[in-house]
C-alpha cells in the first residue's frame, strides 16, 4: 500500500444516496486511477487522471464522477445513477506512462 | 489461464514445487506487461513487469516470459511457498500508456 490511503475501508450506502470514496497519496505521482473489482473478476477502469485538473473516463464511468484539484487527492463519487455499486474499489497511482501502478488497500462498498 | 466466467481458474501446487501461471493478452500493440499478486481483501501488489522488447525477465524467485507471436505471458514462481497463495493478475498497458487492462486472474493455492 505504502503512501496511498483509501478511506473508509468499509462503506455502507442506502439506495439512492451518493457516496464519496477518498484516495490520498504522498508518492508525488502525477497519475491516479480508480478501478472497480467484482467478486472473482479482474479490475475494471472507472476513471483516471494524468495530471491535476484533468481526468479521463475509463470503461465503466457511467454513474461515477471524480475530481482532481490537488496532486495528492483523487476522490471518487458513486452516484445514485450507478445501478450496481456494490464492489471493491481500488485507487492506484503511477509516475510516467508505461510504468507500474501502486495500489491502495481498497474500499469495500455495500449498498443496502 | 484466464477465466471466461465468474469462477477464477485455480492452480493447486505443493509447497516447494514450481508454479506456472499463464495469461493471454489481447492487444498486439501493447508495449508493457505487469504481474500483480492480490491477497484476499487487499490491493494488488506488484510482482514483476516486462516490456515488449524483452522475452524474459527474472526477479527474486519469479520469472516472466513474453511470447509476442501468440500474445502469451507467463509467470513462473520457483519453490512455491504457502505465502504465495493468492490471486495473480496479468495486465497490459492501454493505448495511451497510462492505465492498465487486467485479466480476470488465477487463484494459486499452495498446499503443504
Tens of pLDDT, residues B20-33? 999 998 888 889 99
User: Cell 500474445, residue?
Assistant: B71
Provide the pLDDT for residue A2.
Answer: 54
Among A42, A45, A58, the residue with its CB nearest the CB of B89 is A42
CB-based contact A43 B89, cutoff 8 Å: yes
Provide the pLDDT for residue A110.
Answer: 95
Alpha carbon distances (Å) from A29 to A25, A99, B26, B44: 8, 11, 28, 18
Please give the share of chain A, as a percent, with pLDDT higher than 90.
Answer: 83
Provide the pLDDT for residue B96.
Answer: 82
Pairing of strands B62-67, B72-77: antiparallel
User: Cell 462498498, residue?
Assistant: A109
CB-based contact B99 A45, cutoff 8 Å: yes
Asked whether the beta carbons of B86 and B39 are under 8 A apart, the reply is: yes
Alpha carbon distances (Å) from B77 to A108, B12, B37, B65, B103: 30, 13, 12, 12, 18
User: Strand, helix or coil at A54?
Assistant: strand
Amino acid at each position: 500500500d505504502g503512501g496511498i490511503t483509501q478511506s473508509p475501508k468499509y462503506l455502507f450506502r442506502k439506495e439512492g444516496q451518493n457516496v464519496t470514496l477518498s484516495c490520498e497519496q504522498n508518492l508525488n505521482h502525477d497519475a491516479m486511477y480508480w478501478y472497480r473489482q467484482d467478486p472473482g473478476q479482474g479490475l475494471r477502469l472507472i476513471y483516471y487522471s494524468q495530471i491535476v485538473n484533468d481526468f479521463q473516463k475509463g470503461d465503466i464511468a457511467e454513474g461515477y464522477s471524480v475530481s482532481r484539484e490537488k496532486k495528492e487527492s483523487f476522490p471518487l463519487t458513486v452516484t445514485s445513477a450507478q445501478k450496481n455499486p456494490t464492489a471493491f474499489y481500488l485507487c492506484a497511482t503511477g509516475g510516467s506512462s508505461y510504468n507500474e501502478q501502486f495500489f491502495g488497500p481498497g474500499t469495500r462498498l455495500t449498498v443496502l | 489461464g484466464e477465466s471466461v466466467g465468474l469462477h477464477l481458474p485455480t492452480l493447486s501446487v505443493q509447497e516447494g514445487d514450481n508454479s506456472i501461471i499463464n495469461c493471454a493478452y489481447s492487444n498486439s500493440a501493447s508495449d508493457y506487461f505487469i504481474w500483480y499478486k492480490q491477497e484476499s481483501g487487499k490491493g494488488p501488489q506488484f510482482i514483476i513487469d516486462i516490456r515488449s522488447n524483452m522475452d524474459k525477465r527474472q526477479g527474486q524467485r519469479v520469472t516472466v516470459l513474453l511470447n509476442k507471436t501468440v500474445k502469451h505471458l507467463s509467470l513462473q514462481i520457483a519453490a512455491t511457498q504457502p505465502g504465495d497463495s493468492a490471486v495473480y493478475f496479468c495486465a497490459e498497458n492501454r493505448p495511451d500508456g497510462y492505465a492498465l487492462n487486467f485479466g480476470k486472474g488465477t487463484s494459486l493455492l499452495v498446499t503443504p
